[in-house]
Structure 1
């Protein structure tokens, strides 16, 4: 009984082979004896699948013969590419070929693998030296990793092929394409072949299985419509599964759409009479499902469908985007060094509507003559797409939908213009970005994208953009790392009013302005009266206006500007305000002085310097320059026209946000971003000068050293040096002190934590001590004992020492010549720079005159370490 059953199963399996001369290959054996070619480069894996296992990069080809039965033959096979296919890693399945050398044979084959993210199968005929593309599959269906498909190919007639697919790898086939073949190359003694082209990393990633070739039988089936697509508001394109009798196919009464009616006209679109265009008098409604009914359609063999059949179709109107529909949502201008993203620039677009939008004819550029143009692409409602150079498309496949573009703009790291236009050259969206939009120096160095935070307020420019907080530096193809849909309801606020010259006034606001209200002269009034000639909105930032006057401003006269009815870009009105302006004066020596410096910031932090206006004049930064001649002998312009008011401070840093976060006890409105010279951690020189048309005029200079810090500090990283009084001479160590711990070791834009007033009230005394207690705990209160001198003669030598009550020397403060108005500081340390104990001490001062006479003083000093 067992033998009979086993024999029956064998006969059943071999019936296709014996009856039709065809075969089935499921790779159940452990060898490839029936195959020829590079068989040593393939194995049968544990799942009984054919698996490429090549030793190195290259090409491998194997084939197996079978007997071709002419028409009505069906080929089935399974392909699993464990990677996203490309032009370097592709497969060809030669399902019908006449010899085992693909280079010289006649063959029909399927190819998978191409450049970009539009991978699809392609159906080729190769007749000797001519290779002809006969058809292809759905774009993008084989761009995934892995790329999987089970194919079913049927040769219906000499001139038609049917291709069915299941992209899940199962056997639920869907008709995908009718292939027309007017060449009809006849092949009798046929072979089935597999060709793998691969790089080193893909040499074992090609898998095949379930190859089946069989005779399909005689055609007795009525024709069917296999696809119906609304190609416009009143046209439907239909595709039959075989060539149709022309007479029956062109009868309008054989087709109808309920609620729409019969078509007005029908035209056929190809030589095999299988594709037709139906035109109706009524229009379809977008996003509504319809049924096309058809009957009495006859194929060329006389098979007819007398009963009504139906096929659904849906009309989706594809619209051209208008302003606000399609937005620049994210971009990566500086991809190196990468923290997780590909080192390739990208621009991300988002469809903010519930409409399908047509991209054909759109372009993206950096404002130059070269534009990257979109081809026949569509973006779905609320879809996000990534745009990048066409050669780098594969880099972003894993992140989402990608469109590779020729002439993709090269985005400048420091700042650039990105503009999206329609086919009529009208602007759909635009941004002008700067690297100042980044929040940290690390982000500024590269690897981080900039993201749009509010799609409802794109007119806000830089105020709705921020660097990505994603761990990999960006979110291409995905929702941005931070988004909000809060709509601003507050009017613009004036930040600065600056006379650029006697003829021009610049006003800076906190947000992007409405161009019409911002440039309306009626919204500005100046007193004493100055008529306005014109007003320009600065195009890139759009939050600054320049007022051009008909008559000049006068020096030393204060003017009041009244602003009213000015709107931001979404229509919020500012309250009416008055602001004062005055022409700045030209600074003189010692008008502007150095007041604070951070030259050794914490890791990831930024240097900063602080300037103090030591005069009673209004001064401008416009022509100010900084230099560190100890490092590099060149001048760096402070690129800012901000005014500095009498007896106020202004800090300069290369990264404003970082400085504000590191030093919260600061005034952010008095901290400006500017290029700074290199400030060495050990020592350096800072020079401040004003350029007066032809030459530099010195304002202040000093040479700092790290030894100027409080000697009791073991670490000085992240601690600024503050001048104890802005008006004191900058180039003396005793006039500087480490910033207090109480204000987080820095006070940019504010009065210094270690400020000491000029305390010489008694002009007759040769010296004075502000207080006789020193509390050396860096809390900003009595951290240092300061002795200020007011000597009657030049040339004094000083011997200043600290003793304990037992008479032992604790600290030698100075044994040098001393200036008439010098300061000597004691920080509560001994001669080994160790803190002394709390208690009472004696300050011993000996002043030696140039003629040798001496003056001896003693003071009681208290140290409080608590």
Structure 2
């Protein structure tokens, strides 16, 4: 006979939630040396967990005995071999218990009819510090009534390292609102898109195709399917194929939170992925000499016309024999980098955010390992998935502005996208007024001229070489009708005396720049006016001459 008051029929999603996880019990802090999963009944009814399952990947682990879980009560799941270790608390042994991966993993709680009741994709980065992430401390949910919020987990603060069978030590210790965040929309092919969200949502509203407007054109979406068990992704099938190098916009409306408490809307861009060619993705900023509490970073910029999957790229370096050292893939899956966008790669993105609070978290990728970047000199190579070179930068600490006395924590920034990464004059120390770095943002030393009135043109008529990010250098940009010009650039005082030679018989392309740091023999020039004299000659006999009046302050 069925026990009256016990729910055996279909239960609502999130009636029971995964409330605490111990994925790495060693070193032992005060709990048994055993992995466990804790469940909490958030409903108002007693629920029988018999035949309920934990799903990990394609493996299923079942509860095979009558297990009554009362409202607002807790139970611990563990392996049969470890059940004696939890004899003092409410626990149930599973004949087979999932082996929990330390760094990250996905667990789904399913009812006997195979419906997903709750799921969580845990990460060791949810721990508050590296000590707790290294083992012995459980991950606890803060608010069990907000089961889909990504910020709803943290390290246990209990002296034993966790609270199996008890109220979580961080229960309701932090208040937060549910955040609707669209991570990206990937064009897997010309007819299929993958929408990725930061949090799980209501699967029905996420699967309703009328809640989407593609490129301001109605009736362009054929079908949408939310992806379980987390429901933070959805496959979108289009009626018509999309085109290469075109950026499209999708408007989302009437998307409900996972418990249907709030409604959200948002906009996301997408576009067909393009295999990058050399000069499509540029090395744009590097920090190779970080502070003692920081890590190196490399910033990339999409200078091309198409969307590139950054996770298909590799960072590497060349040894003295010209061979590649170990190459490091940037990630698995997808990371859209749109034309004109930046992304920063580091082994510690929290350091980047700490030192540059304006840096954008969504534009950072944390890698487990990167190529070694010596503090004095080295190189960074960017490769595509076939191992072809996309960009390379050679660096040395001597490329920093000479009057930067403390070079630790100061990045080198690219000045112009059009100039070569291998040109040492195309790099400059990040401005002190920008915190000596601009990760995920436009470089403080970025320089551009949008139109040319003559063959040679100065970026500014004033130069102030004090590394404050304002006119720190002189960029003489040129646009010529043919290659093959040899160019020399001189600096004269108003009295006609030559003071410095800025360039000596430099071979020019059809478009580029000559950069001068404003120093003469590593000394700042006296404040005043000077004449920049440019002379270029071609083997066909044609000569170009230009005088530019500049001021030094």
TM-score of Structure 1 vs Structure 2, range by shorter chain: 0.7 to 0.9
1:861–1:470 distance in 2 versus 1, CA, 3 Å: farther
Find the aligned partners of 1:723 and 1:764 in 2 and give their Cα distance: 23
Matches within 5 A, 1:507-546: 507-526=195-214, 532-546=221-235
Find the aligned partners of 2:203 and 2:459 in 1 and give their Cα distance: 61
Work out whether 1:468 is the aligned partner of 2:155.
yes
Deviations 1:801-833 (A, max 9, x none): 999x9x9x9xx99797644356344376965xx
Deviation at 1:557, TM superposition (A): 6.1
Deviations 1:101-135 (A, max 9, x none): xxxxxxxxxxxxxxxxxxxxxxxxxxxxxxxxxxx
Show the counterpart of 1:668: 361
Show the counterpart of 2:460: 770
Show the counterpart of 1:201: none
SS of match in other structure, 2:254? coil
Show the counterpart of 1:601: 290
Work out whether 1:702 is the aligned partner of 2:370.
no
Q: Which has the larger radius of gyration?
A: 1
Matches within 5 A, 1:734-753: 734-753=425-444
Find the aligned partners of 1:796 and 1:622 in 2 and give their Cα distance: 38
Deviations 1:615-649 (A, max 9, x none): 4x232326741231337343625545444443333
Matches within 5 A, 1:51-62: none
Of 390, 400, 419, the residue aligned with 1:728 is: 419
Of 321, 341, 360, the residue aligned with 1:648 is: 341
Show the counterpart of 1:506: 194
Show the counterpart of 1:677: 370
1:574–1:764 distance in 2 versus 1, CA, 3 Å: same
1:574–1:555 distance in 2 versus 1, CA, 3 Å: farther
Deviation at 1:739, TM superposition (A): 1.8
Deviation at 1:382, TM superposition (A): 4.8
Mind listing any 5+ residue stretches in structure 1 that lack a counterpart? 1-231, 234-282, 284-316
Q: Is the 8 A contact 2:475 2:513 kept in 1?
A: no
Find the aligned partners of 1:847 and 1:681 in 2 and give their Cα distance: 39
1:348–1:577 distance in 2 versus 1, CA, 3 Å: closer
Find the aligned partners of 2:356 and 2:273 in 1 and give their Cα distance: 30
Matches within 5 A, 1:295-306: none
| The 10-residue stretch of structure 1 (545-554 or 747-756) with the greater mean CA deviation from structure 2 | 545-554
Q: Is the 8 A contact 1:387 1:402 kept in 2?
A: no
SS of match in other structure, 2:279? coil
Find the aligned partners of 1:346 and 1:660 in 2 and give their Cα distance: 34
Work out whether 1:328 is the aligned partner of 2:18.
yes
Find the aligned partners of 2:121 and 2:479 in 1 and give their Cα distance: 58
SS of match in other structure, 1:716? coil
Q: Is the 8 A contact 1:628 1:684 kept in 2?
A: no
1:604–1:719 distance in 2 versus 1, CA, 3 Å: same
Deviation at 1:352, TM superposition (A): 4.4
Deviations 1:301-330 (A, max 9, x none): xxxxxxxxxxxxxxxx98889664543222
Q: Is the 8 A contact 1:448 1:467 kept in 2?
A: no
Of 107, 132, 144, the residue aligned with 1:418 is: 107
Find the aligned partners of 1:482 and 1:841 in 2 and give their Cα distance: 67
1:419–1:528 distance in 2 versus 1, CA, 3 Å: closer
Show the counterpart of 2:382: 688
Q: Is the 8 A contact 1:513 1:569 kept in 2?
A: yes
| The 10-residue stretch of structure 1 (601-610 or 380-389) with the greater mean CA deviation from structure 2 | 380-389
Find the aligned partners of 1:708 and 1:416 in 2 and give their Cα distance: 43
Show the counterpart of 1:590: 279
Show the counterpart of 2:329: 636
Q: Is the 8 A contact 1:495 1:509 kept in 2?
A: yes
1:453–1:814 distance in 2 versus 1, CA, 3 Å: same
Q: Is the 8 A contact 1:489 1:572 kept in 2?
A: no
Aligned residues between the structures: 529
Q: Is the 8 A contact 1:639 1:674 kept in 2?
A: no
- TM-score, length of structure 1 as denominator length: 0.50
Q: Is the 8 A contact 2:316 2:382 kept in 1?
A: no
Of 47, 56, 68, the residue aligned with 1:366 is: 56
Work out whether 1:409 is the aligned partner of 2:98.
yes
- TM-score, length of structure 2 as denominator length: 0.74
Matches within 5 A, 1:8-47: none
Q: Is the 8 A contact 1:813 1:824 kept in 2?
A: no
Q: Is the 8 A contact 2:452 2:479 kept in 1?
A: no
SS of match in other structure, 2:419? coil
Find the aligned partners of 1:824 and 1:473 in 2 and give their Cα distance: 61
1:389–1:827 distance in 2 versus 1, CA, 3 Å: farther
Deviation at 1:500, TM superposition (A): 2.1
Matches within 5 A, 1:489-500: 492=180, 494-500=182-188
Q: Is the 8 A contact 2:280 2:390 kept in 1?
A: yes
SS of match in other structure, 1:522? helix
Q: Is the 8 A contact 2:488 2:502 kept in 1?
A: no
Q: Is the 8 A contact 2:156 2:163 kept in 1?
A: no
RMSD: 5.1
Find the aligned partners of 1:813 and 1:408 in 2 and give their Cα distance: 74
Matches within 5 A, 1:28-427: 324=14, 326-335=16-25, 345-352=35-42, 364=54, 366=56, 369=59, 371=61, 373=63, 382=72, 401=89, 403=91, 405=93, 407-420=96-109
Find the aligned partners of 2:428 and 2:380 in 1 and give their Cα distance: 17
Find the aligned partners of 2:454 and 2:132 in 1 and give their Cα distance: 55
Deviation at 1:411, TM superposition (A): 0.8
Find the aligned partners of 2:48 and 2:329 in 1 and give their Cα distance: 49
SS of match in other structure, 2:278? coil
SS of match in other structure, 2:339? coil
Show the counterpart of 1:186: none
1:736–1:383 distance in 2 versus 1, CA, 3 Å: same
Deviations 1:398-429 (A, max 9, x none): xx847585644321123223344567877654
Deviations 1:437-468 (A, max 9, x none): 5577776655654321221121x15x243332
Q: Is the 8 A contact 2:245 2:306 kept in 1?
A: no
Q: Is the 8 A contact 1:623 1:690 kept in 2?
A: no
Q: Is the 8 A contact 1:457 1:464 kept in 2?
A: no
